[in-house]
Amino acid sequence: MDRTIVWLAPAAAPDPDERALLEIDAAIALVSGGAAVRVRVCGQPAAEDVAVAGAARAQAAHVAFQLRREPSGSVTVVVGPRLDVRPAGLR
């Protein structure tokens, strides 16, 4: 059975921090649900401000989380791929 992926429109959150977290949550859902291997979240000015919360949510979902500073100075969040959380003897 496929997982349902819920994506709230960014306009649903007027606060920039909340909007950035919604985008990060959507990226986490896409990766953890298997719909994407990696998702880049670009153009969110508050991404750096909510990076710790986003990283914690990604860790809880067992997906990788990276914050990248682009040459232009903007910040891009890269979510994915899924992390292998099996014990070492079962990999």
**Confidence tier at 91 by pLDDT (50, 70, 90):** low
Q: What is the mean pLDDT of the chain?
A: 86
Residue 51 makes CB contacts below 8 A (sequence gap 6+) with: 67, 77
Task: Strands of the chain (E only): list them.
Answer: 39-41, 63-69, 75-82
The string of pLDDT tens digits covering residues 11-21 is 567 889 999 99
Tokens 């429109």 label which residue? 9
pLDDT tens per residue across span 44-55: 889 999 999 999
What is the rounded distance in angstroms from the CA atom of residue 17 to the CA atom of residue 64? 21
Question: Whole-angstrom Cα distance, residue 1 to residue 33?
Answer: 11
